[in-house]
Structures are given as structure tokens and as C-alpha cells.
Amino acid sequence: MIEMIVAGIAMDAGTRNPIVLLRDASERRQLPIFISPEQAKAISAGLEGEKMTRPMTHDLMANILETWDLKLHRIVIHALKDNTFYAVMTVGKGEKKKELDARPSDAISLALRMNAPIWVMEEVVLDAAMPVDRDADAAEKEAFHDFLSSISPADFAERDRSK
């Protein structure tokens, strides 16, 4: 397994969809995972330590775990099947630990709030990682911030009504 950190949120140049970028300690490889705009906001809030006036879902989950003295030991992104990443969260109290199935975006968001390590299985890194392009980082961050500032809660309500 390879420990990774959240390097940030980027925008896919072709689709304009947000991507969470995980980077290894050597900062030579990064793992891009496509996420929704809502997931991007949750991860971004966790990265920045942003406190909302009311708890968001991942804040609530962290509060529940902390209230019951449960620890998020780690998350592991363990598989990539049909372009979908799979993750588990190891949660426990004392010697007792359980692995819970989770979407990588939810697990990452919770790990950021609880300072838990993020691990990726080596075969997933080999299949999906790419070299780090240092020149693209600044432009991607600016594009993502522009994207975030252009959306509002009403944008999501419009999508829900169209289903």
C-alpha cells in the first residue's frame, strides 16, 4: 500500500468535471478520481478546515465517531473496476476494528476531517496514477475556484427537478 495525501481539487480540461488528486510522498505520482461538484465542495471544505454554521454530512459523521470515542484509523482505496474506485474505512474503538465499505470521495472527506491517513493499494496506483505535472497545478486550482464561485445551491435544485 502507498500512503497518499490530498493534493487538491482540479478540473478535467475536457469535461470540466472536478477531480480529487491524491499524491504520493515522493510527489512524482498522482491519482485522479472524478467526483461530483457536491463531493468537491465537501473535500475542499475538509482541506481548508472550513467550519459551516450547520454541520454538513461529513462533519456530522465525524461528530458521531468522536462522540462515541470511535477512531477512523485509515481509509484504503483498494480497487478500480470498470472506471470506478472502491474504498474501505477502518473504524474502531480500542482493539476492536471494523472495515466499512465507502465511496472514495466520502472516505477522503471524512479522513480530512479526522486526520486519518489515506492509503491506496499498489495495483490501483499502477493502473490509474499519472506523473505530476507541476505547471498545470496553478491553472487547475484557479479553474476550480472559478467553478466553485460560479455555482450556488439553486444550481443543484434545478438538477434534482429534471430527474
CA-CA-CA-CA dihedral for 33, 37, 40, 41, to nearest 10: -170
All structural domains of the chain: 2-158 (3.10.690.10)
* Each residue's pLDDT tens digit, 53-86: 888 899 999 999 999 999 999 999 999 999 999 9
Contact 120, 22 (CB under 8 A): yes
Q: Decide: pTM greater than 0.85.
A: no
* Each residue's pLDDT tens digit, 2-20: 999 999 999 888 888 999 9
